[in-house]
Structure 1
Amino acid sequence: MLDYPTLKLIWWLLVGVLLVGFAIMDGHDMGVGSLLPFVGRNDTERRVVINTAGPHWDGNQVWFITGGGAIFAAWPLVYATAFSGFYWAMLAVLWALFFRPVGFDYRSKIQHPTWRSTWDWGLFVGGAVPPIIFGVAFGNLLQGVPFSFNGYLMPTYTGSFWALLNPFALLAGVVSSAMITLQGATYLAHRTEGIIQTRTVKAGIGAALVMVIGFIAAGVWLQGIEGYRIASVVLPDALPDPLAKTVVREPGAWMANYAAMPALWLLPALGVAGALLAAVLLRARATLSAFVASSLAVVGVIGTAGVSMFPFVMPSSTHLASSLTVWDSVSSHLTLSIMFWATLIFMPLIVTYTGWAYRVMRGKVTEAYIRENDHAAY
C-alpha cells in the first residue's frame, strides 16, 4: 500500500488530470455551443454545428461528474467549503447546463424559427457561461477566499456573489472562456468544411490571441498579488487538520515554486505556445493537429494555476490558518488508497471507450448529411 504523503500528492495530480480532461473533452463541445450562433448563419448550418457535438456531449459529461466526485471523495473539506462559498456561482453553472440536454434533444423537433433560434441561444448560454464562471472561481482562489473554520472544522463564508466579480477574477474568466472557445473551434473546424469551417477558423484564431494576451496579462498581474506560504513545519503524513499550521501572505509567494524548480516555467510556456501553434495550424487547415495543440494549451494553463498555488488548494483571505492545502484537506489513507486503485481500473476503460466512440463518429458533418437525415439528425 502506498504511504499517506505519496497518496496525497497522487490525488493532487489526479484531480488536475480530471480537470484537464474535463476542459479538453467537455470543453470542446462547450466551445462549439459558444460558437453556434456566430458560425452558423441559417438553420441548416446551425444543425451542422450542433451535430458535430450532439452525439457525444453527454458522454463528455463523465469528466465533469468524475471531477466533482473526485473532489468530494479526495478533498471533502475543499468540496464542502467551495460549494458553500461559491453557492450562487455553482447554481449559475447548473442553470446554464440545464439548456444543454433540452437544447440538443428538442431544438430540431419543431420546425419553427422562433423555437429553434431560442434553443440556439440556450445552447450558447450552456456552452459559454460555465467556462467563464470556472475561470472567475480560479481567479478568486489565487487571491484567497473569505472563509474560516471553527474548532469543529465547520466552515463560515463571509463573502458575497458580487465580490467574486473582481477585476483579476474577471480577467481569469476571459482567459478561461477564450481557452474553451479555442478548444471548440479546433474541433468544429476538424468536423466541418466550407464556409462554416472558414468562419470557425477565424473565430479560433481570434480566441487564441485573446487567450494568450489575457494569460500573459494575468501572469504579470499575479506577481503583484500577495500569495500564500506555510511558515510552520509541514508534516505530510499527519492527519488532516487545517488549523494546525501557520500561514503568511507575502508578495511574490505564488512565484516561489518557479524559483525553486525552474522547469515549471514550461507549463506557462506551453499554454502560450500551444495556443499560438493552434492558431497557426488552424490557418493552415491542419485541424487535427490544431486540436492537439489547443489541448496542450489547456494542460499549460490549468497546470500553471495548479503549480503556482501548490501546496494550497483553497487559501483563506480572512483566517490564514484555515487555508486548505494538499496535506490537510484530504480524506483518510484508506479512502485515498481505495480510490487510487479504482482509478487505475476504470480510467483506462473510460479513455478506451471515449477513443472508440470518437473513432466511430469521425468524419465531416455536411449540409448534405443534414438534408438526407432531416428527421434523425439533431
Structure 2
Amino acid sequence: MFETLSHLALQQYWWMIIAVLGAALVFLMFVQGGQTLIYTIGKTADERSMIVNTLGRKWEFTFTTLVTFGGAFFASFPLFYSTSFGGAYWAWMVLLFAFIFQAVSYEFRSKPENFFGTRVYEAFLQFNGFVATFLLGVVVATFFTGSPFFISDMKEMSWQAPTRGLELLLNVHNLTLGVAVLFLARTLGLLYFINTIDDEVILKRAKKHLWYNAIPFVVFFLTFVVWLMLRDGFAVVPDTGLVFMQANKYFFNLIEMPVVLVLFLLGVVLVLSGIGVSVFTNKTNGIWWTGSGTLMTVFALFLVAGFNNTAFYPSSYDIQSSLTIVNASSSHFTLTVMSYVSLLVPFVIAYIWYTWRAINKHKINKEELNSHESHIY
C-alpha cells in the first residue's frame, strides 16, 4: 500500500504525523502550566497536594509525547534532527533537563524521610513549568523566523552562533510565541483543575485566574499570528528547490490551503469558547473545548510551516541551507516501513483515551489524599 506512494506523498504524510504529535505535545503542556500555579491556586498543604496529584496522573503522557515527537522527527526528517538538536544545543538541553527535574520531583516529593522537603521538589516542578513551555514556544517559532546554520553540499552542518541556541531568545517574534505558549499552558492547567478537582475553594480561585492568564495568551498569540501573516516567508521553487523570500508567504499559505484555514479558525473559536464556558457558566468541561481547539490550531500552524512549497526550518544565515520536507526527509524505503508502523497509532490513541478516562473516573479531593489505597505524589 504505502510502497506505491511517491516519495513526496510519504514526506507529506509524515509531516502531518509530526504536526499531530506537535499539537498533542502543546495540549499536554497543561501539566507544565498547572505546575506554575501550585502556589497561586494552592494556599494550604492539602490544596497543593491535590494540585500536584491531579497533575501527577498525567505528567507521563506529556513526557512520552515529547520523546515520541523527537523520535518521529529523527526517523522521518533526520536532517532537521541533526541540525536543530546539534546546533541549538543549549536550548534543547535546558528543556530536556527541565523534564528530568519534573520526573524526579513527582517520584520523590512525598517520599518518607525526604530530606529536601516537598517545597524543593515543588520548586523543580515550577521550573519545569515555566522553562519547558516558554522554550517550546520559542523553538517552534523558529520554524517561521529561522535559525543561524549552514549546511554544506556534503550535508555537514555548522551553527553560526557561539551561544548554540540561546541566541533564539533575542528574536522578539520568537518571544511572543514563547510567552503565548506559557500562558496557554497555564490556562489549560486551570481548566484541568476545574475539571478534575472536587474542591470549591480551588474551583473559585481557578476561575478567577482564568482571566489573568487567558487575556495575556490571546494578546501574545494574536501578536505572533498577525506578525506572521505580515512578514516575508521562506518559499521554495518546487522544480529546483531554490529558496527565496516571498512577501506574506504564510498568509498566502492559509488562503491557498482553505482546509487548513478552516481548521485554524475553528481551533481558535474552540479555544476561546472553552475559556468562556468555564468563566461564565458552571460547566467544568471547558478543558475539552479549549484542548480540542489547541490541537486544531497547532496542527494547522505546522501545516502552514511545511506545506505549500515552504521551508519548515529556514536558515537565517544562508537561505539555501533552509530545510524543507523534501530535502530533509528519510529515504522512500525508510518512510514506507515507518508508515506501516504508523498504522498502530489509532490503537495507541485508543489506549491513551481508555487509561485517561479510567484515571480520571473520580475527581480528586481531600478524602482521596488521606486514603491509603491511592498512590500519592
> Same-fold call, TM > 0.5?
yes
Q: How does 1:234-245 map to 2 (within 5 A)?
A: 234=239, 245=241
Answer whether contact 2:273 2:289 (CA < 8 A) is retained. Answer: yes
Matches of 1:249 and 1:293, distance apart in 2: 37
Q: State yes or no: 1:11 paired with 2:14.
A: yes
Q: Would the aligned equivalents of 1:208 and 1:275 in 2 still touch at CA under 8 Å?
A: no
Within-5 A mapping of 1:1-378:
1-2=1-2, 3=5, 4-25=7-28, 27-110=29-112, 115-159=117-161, 160=163, 161-165=165-169, 166-192=171-197, 193-230=199-236, 232-234=237-239, 245-283=241-279, 284-288=281-285, 290-311=286-307, 312-345=311-344, 347-362=345-360, 363-373=362-372, 376-378=375-377
SS at match of 2:117: helix
Per-residue CA deviations over 1:131-168 (Å, capped at 9, x if unaligned) read 10010112223111111111211111113344211211
Distance 2:9 2:159 in 1: 31
Secondary structure of the residue aligned to 1:313 is coil
1:207–1:111: structure 2 CA closer, same or farther, 3 Å change rule? farther
Q: What displacement does 1:57 show?
A: 1.8
Listed one character per residue, the Cα deviations across residues 58-87 of structure 1 (whole Å, up to 9, x for unaligned) are 244221111110000000000000102221
Describe the shift of the 1:7–1:184 C-alpha distance in structure 2 as closer, same or farther (beyond 3 A): same
Q: Tell which deviates more after alignment, 92-101 or 114-123.
A: 114-123
1:221 partner amino acid:
W
Tell me if structure 2 keeps the 8 A contact 1:144–1:316: yes
Deviation at 1:255, TM superposition (A): 1.6
Change in Cα spacing, 1:262 to 1:351, as seen in structure 2 (3 Å) is closer
The 1:292–1:55 alpha-carbon spacing in structure 2 relative to 1, beyond 3 Å, is closer
Structure 2: how far apart are the matches of 1:300 and 1:179? 14
Distance 1:163 1:89, change over 3 A: same
Distance 1:199 1:120 in 2: 19
Q: Give the conservation status (yes or no) of the 8 Å contact 2:133–2:178.
A: yes
Secondary structure at the counterpart of residue 325 of structure 1: coil
Report the counterpart of residue 240 of structure 1 in structure 2.
Answer: none
Question: Mean alpha-carbon deviation: is it higher for 11-20 or for 175-184?
Answer: 175-184
CA contact 2:265–2:297 (8 Å) conserved in 1? no
Shift of 1:305: 2.5
Asked if the contact 2:16–2:303 (Cα under 8 Å) also holds between the matched residues in 1, the reply is no
The answer to whether the 8 A contact 2:137-2:180 is kept is yes
How many pairs does the alignment contain? 365
Q: What is the RMSD computed on CA atoms of the aligned residues?
A: 2.1
Shift of 1:266: 2.4
Q: Given the superposition, is the C-alpha separation of residues 112 and 73 from structure 1 closer, same or farther in structure 2, using an over 3 Å criterion?
A: closer
Structure 2 distance, partners of 1:17, 1:211, is: 22
Aligned residue for 1:228, secondary structure, equals: strand
Give ranges in structure 1 of 5+ residues lacking alignment.
Answer: 235-243
- Secondary structure of the corresponding residue to residue 370 of structure 2: helix
Q: 1:196 to 1:153 in 2, by over 3 A?
A: same
Q: Deviations over 1:94-146 (max 9, x none)?
A: 12112212211111224789721121121111122111001011222311111
Distance 1:286 1:56 in 2: 22
2: CA distance between counterparts of 1:162 and 1:126? 17
Normalised by the size of structure 1, how large is the TM-score?
0.90
In structure 2, runs of 5+ residues without a counterpart are none
Deviations 1:190-222 (A, max 9, x none): 111311122122223432222222111112222
- Give the TM-score normalised by the residue count of structure 2: 0.90
Write the distance in 1 (CA, Å) between the matches of 2:112 and 2:26.
32
What is the alpha-carbon distance in structure 1 between the residues aligned to residue 102 and residue 319 of structure 2? Answer: 39
What amino acid is aligned across from residue 175 of structure 2 in structure 1? L
Question: Distance between the aligned counterparts of 1:310 and 1:97, measured in 2?
Answer: 27
Percent sequence identity is 25
Partner amino acid, structure 1, of 2:282:
R
TM-fit CA distance, 1:177 = 0.9
- Relative to structure 1, the CA distance from residue 60 to residue 307 in structure 2 (aligned partners, 3 Å threshold; closer, same or farther) is closer
Query: Which whole-Å CA distance do the structure 2 matches of 1:40 and 1:334 have between them?
Result: 52
Indicate the residue corresponding to 1:241 in structure 2. Answer: none
Contact 2:255/2:261, CA 8 A, preserved across alignment: no
Deviation track 1:6-47 (CA, whole Å, cap 9, x = no partner) reads: 11111010111111122223x222222122221111111111
Whole-angstrom distance in 1 between the partners of 2:227 and 2:132: 24
Q: What is the SS of the residue equivalent to 1:326?
A: coil
The one-letter code matched in structure 2 to 1:169 is N
